[in-house]
Amino acid sequence: MMTGSDRRGMAAPLRRQGDRPPADFTELLRVQRDACRQIGSDLYARLIGHAITRVDRPGPIRDLLAPHAQDSFGSALALRFLGAVHRIVLEGRAPELAAHYPSVGGTPGPAAEAAFEAVVAAHLPELAERIHDGVQTNEVGRSAALVGAFLEVAAGAGGGGGMPLRVFEVGASAGLNLRWDHYRYEAGGRGVGDPSSPVRFVEPWVGRRPRLDRTCTVAERRGCDLSPIDATTPEGRLTLRAFVWPDLVDRLRRLDAAIEVARRVPATVDRADVSTWLPERLAAPAPGTATVVVHSIVVQYLPDEARRTLRETVTAAGEAATPEAPVAWLRMEPGRDGAEVRLAGWPGGADRLLAVSAYHGPPVRWLAS
């Protein structure tokens, strides 16, 4: 099964191309190479660029990738491939390539491509298996894009000011963003969240920022995912780390810190499809709490039917909402200039664009007054 990926700059091509196979195999790789370069992973841009030069020539890279020539755009073949190789590096089984991977203390050098190809040759059967695994990420930086909206709900957007929140996350992956209130956010000399948290966002907003003098309690946090990851296990942690691009070490550090938080703050992520899970969660109102349905970079992976169920389920719960049991729908999904953070709140049902963010989180352009 193909699960999520974590791409900035690739969202637009993916949405445009749908889930069709690319007309030209290398086109798929080129899109991913360019997106990696745009986001700041020169190493991955180089390695994918190298793979593009090898797909037409006999050798291990062609042997590995040729059976996937018909894979869809949305399946992010290059990222599955590179994630499978990164896992081997993280496990300490590819010391020559590790010398080029900042995630394990290396520095990309001119021999990176050759070392990469040697690892592909040495681990071909394993990689041929692993390359089927969907990209599975959980980007903690998105909490910085979402926190302002959670605080709006806590302050009474749609009613329920001061009530504790009941947070239901669709496509929660490892549930790291379900612990958003256990991270620290600081700007302009103010801060919100846990001051002792190992996950710290300093000046994540550009321009305006949300009000940070609000407080909020989370009464319940729960998510669903088709392939949930338990980040507190060695295997879960390795999977999440393997899909972070190795030269984006700040993201790796943030992920490690969030896993530390996850060890002490429980959050259930059910292995379930949104289509069955969400209607069950929202079946009964919960007076005295403000219910928030949240998702980030998920909708593009849902089939039409599941998208419809999501929208209709939240809308129906919203229409049944009362001031004692308000409902909010918080989304961080691809827009024209980045990920748009939107919040609808019931009673009332007003839908607002609160912020536009980079796909991995900061910088976040806060738009609400």
Ligand X SMILES: C[S@@+](CC[C@H](N)C(=O)[O-])C[C@H]1O[C@@H](n2cnc3c(N)ncnc32)[C@H](O)[C@@H]1O
298 binds ligand X (CB under 6 A): yes
Q: How far is the CB of 225 from ligand X (least distance, A)?
A: 5
Are the C-beta atoms of 177 and 296 separated by less than 8 Å?
yes
Which token pair is 144? Answer: 């910085």
In the structure encoding, which two tokens stand for residue 216, read together?
């909020």
- 325 or 343: whose CB is closer to ligand X? 343
Residue with the CB atom nearest ligand X in the bound state: 4
Interaction between residue 359 and ligand X (CB under 6 A) = no
Binding of residue 137 to ligand X (CB under 6 A):
yes
The nearest distance, CB 363 to ligand X, in angstroms, is: 17
Contact criterion met (CB below 8 Å) for 242 and 6: no
- Contact between 247 and ligand X by CB under 6 A: the answer reads no
Q: CB of 17: closest distance to ligand X in angstroms?
A: 17
Q: Which of 329, 326, 353 is nearest to 340 (CA)?
A: 353
Does residue 173 belong to the site contacting ligand X (CB under 6 A)? yes
Q: How far is CA 286 from the centre of its chain?
A: 28
Tell which one of 192, 274, 282, 299 touches ligand X (CB under 6 A). Answer: 274
What residues between 6 and 45 interact with ligand X by CB under 6 A?
6
Is residue 142 at the binding interface for ligand X, with CB under 6 A as the rule? yes
Q: Count how many Cα atoms sit within 13 Å of the Cα of residue 284 in the half-sphere of its side chain.
A: 3
Does 297 sit near ligand X (CB under 6 A)? yes
> CB of 176 within 8 A of CB of 233?
no
Does residue 282 bind ligand X (CB under 6 A)?
no
Shortest distance (Å) from residue 92 CB to ligand X? 26
Q: Is the dihedral of CA 242, 247, 251, 256 positive or negative?
A: positive
Whole-angstrom distance, CA of residue 186 vs CA of residue 202? 5
Least CB distance from residue 254 to ligand X, whole Å? 12
Q: Does 3 bind ligand X (CB under 6 A)?
A: yes
Stretch that binds ligand X, among 134-142, 199-207, 249-257, 334-342 (CB under 6 A): 134-142
Q: For residues 150 and 330, is the Cβ–Cβ distance under 8 A? A: yes
Q: Which of 138, 197, 239, 309 binds ligand X (CB under 6 A)?
A: 138
Q: What is the spatial distance between Cα 332 and Cα 294, in angstroms, rounded to a whole number?
A: 8
153 alpha-carbon distance from chain centroid: 22
Nearest-approach distance from CB 173 to ligand X, in angstroms: 4
Tokens 């809308």 belong to 315
Q: Which of 17, 227, 232, 315 binds ligand X (CB under 6 A)?
A: 227
| Residues whose CB falls within 8 Å of the CB of residue 130, separated by 6 or more in sequence, listed in order | 80, 83, 84, 87
Q: How far is the CB of 28 from ligand X (least distance, A)?
A: 18
Q: Is 99 exposed, middle or buried (0-12, 13-18, 19+ CB in 10 A)?
A: middle
167 touching ligand X, by CB under 6 A: no
User: Which residue from 296, 309, 313, 357 is in contact with ligand X, where contact means CB under 6 A?
Assistant: 296
Q: Is 5 one of the binding residues for ligand X (CB under 6 A)?
A: yes
The nearest distance, CB 204 to ligand X, in angstroms, is: 15
DSSP reduced 3-state for 314: helix
Q: Which residues bind ligand X (CB under 6 A)?
A: 3-6, 136-139, 142, 170-173, 177, 224-227, 273-274, 296-298, 301-302, 306
